[in-house]
Amino acid sequence: MGKIRPATVLGLAILAAAACGRKGPILEPLTRIPQPVASLAAGQRGATLRLRWTAPATYIDGRALPPDARTEIWLMRNAAAEAALPMAWEDENEFTAKAVLLSVLDSYGRPLQAGTTAVPPPAAPPLKEFSWEREMTPEDGAAARLVFGVRVAAGRRGASKFAYAGWLPLQAPAPPGGLKARVFEDRIELGWNVPKDAAGTPPRQGFNVYRSSAGGPEVRLNETPVPAPPFADRTFRFGVSYAYRVSAVAGEKEPFIESRDSEALEVTPADSFPPARPKGLISVTAVGLITLSWDPGPETDLAGYRVWRKGPRETGFSLMTPAPISENTFTDDQVEAGGRYQYAVTALDRTGNESGRSEVLTETGKGAGS
């Protein structure tokens, strides 16, 4: 075999390096597209238009969206001839050409100027559930149908498909008035004056009842419209301050239109309701002992029980338990043989309300020979 010259080895190496570095055709960088928003719904409360939706958390390839993702809200106003057309556009540029951009929100629901981003607050996670509202303009009220389009954008070019929601602007019903409340042991009962609607208002379906408390969001207490007052709030807690509002609900079918809210009614329910009298008081006697037991009370805020006794030489009942006891049993070990004793029990709640006494139980102390 002949020798391979060094120059030949060097040439082969250069050819191999050139082959390894050869590039194919230049490909466009992949644009990541966010998932679309979900559960987009439109509504009207008085003259306020409202949107609600669930924000996506990922791109369509499953990767997480960045914190600087933003949500765009667009509006198209339809004339009467367009109000029955389906809300679907294969070419979304056709929608944006006829619509106006109303607002851009960051991941925390804060308004942005178009084309800008905001630094997220350090300790707050991005919102999952969004709500947005605006007062209806004369142009909105004159339209036969309003079509809202919402999409999410991330990066310079990546934007999700639009989600659409339509709304027919209607004359809102009159709001309720005269909101009042009565506090009971198991409920806060709300009443109000039923308003008289003007001609042209859609038929009233009932009322919605809203409640808020300090530091918490407003929640609707009824699942379906309340046909007429009163309404009982059974999920309250004593000592917590609440603000109640009621709106009238109208329309032929869901989604219904709501009136503006009634005046807010502030209620701080105080617990002035004593527990029920203890029942089922029975006894077991032994030498020098009388043991009592009774049925446990049903109250959720029960703090304990007090045991009262009237001895052989006493003219009235005296308290045997200076501090309330949590058990529904008690043993009196200060009993004289042959002595006649009377017992009663009361219940206390955590607010300090005390029940009336139970039925009186009479028992005689047992001696060693009895």
Please say if the pLDDT value at position 124 is more than 90: no
Closest CA to 233 of 191, 204, 194: 191
Predicted TM-score of the model (pTM): 0.69
Indicate the CATH number for domain 38-167: 2.60.40
Mean pLDDT across 247-259: 90
Closest CA to 221 of 231, 229, 230, 213: 231
Indicate the CATH number for domain 177-267: 2.60.40.10
Which pLDDT does position 328 carry in this prediction? 97
Classify domain 282-364 by CATH architecture.
Sandwich (2.60)
149 within 8 A of 95, measured Cβ to Cβ: yes
- pLDDT band for position 215 (50/70/90)? confident
Choose between 7 and 352: higher pLDDT.
352
Tens of pLDDT, residues 133-146: 999 999 999 999 99
Instruction: Give the number of other Cβ atoms within 10 Å of residue 157's Cβ.
Output: 10
Tens of pLDDT, residues 284-306: 999 999 999 999 999 988 999 99
Q: Give Cα 125 to chain centroid, integer Å.
A: 18
Mean pLDDT across 88-104: 92
Rounded CA separation 58/128 (Å): 12
Please say if the pLDDT value at position 331 is more than 90: yes
Q: Which residue has the tokens 């407003």?
A: 218
Please say if the pLDDT value at position 353 is more than 70: yes
Which pLDDT does position 119 carry in this prediction? 60
Phi/psi at 8 (5° precision):
-65, -45
Positions of CATH 2.60.40.10 in the chain: 177-267, 282-364
Which pLDDT does position 31 carry in this prediction? 72
Give the CB-side neighbour count of residue 292, counting CA atoms within 13 A: 35
Tens of pLDDT, residues 166-188: 999 888 899 999 999 999 999 99
Please say if the pLDDT value at position 34 is more than 70: yes
DSSP structural state of residue 14:
H
Choose between 177 and 31: higher pLDDT.
177
49 within 8 A of 77, measured Cβ to Cβ: no
Which pLDDT does position 261 carry in this prediction? 95
Q: Percentage of the chain surpassing pLDDT 90?
A: 72
- pLDDT band for position 5 (50/70/90)? low
Which pLDDT does position 120 carry in this prediction? 60
Max Cα distance, the chain (Å): 134
Choose between 293 and 24: higher pLDDT.
293
Average pLDDT, the chain: 89
Which pLDDT does position 370 carry in this prediction? 63
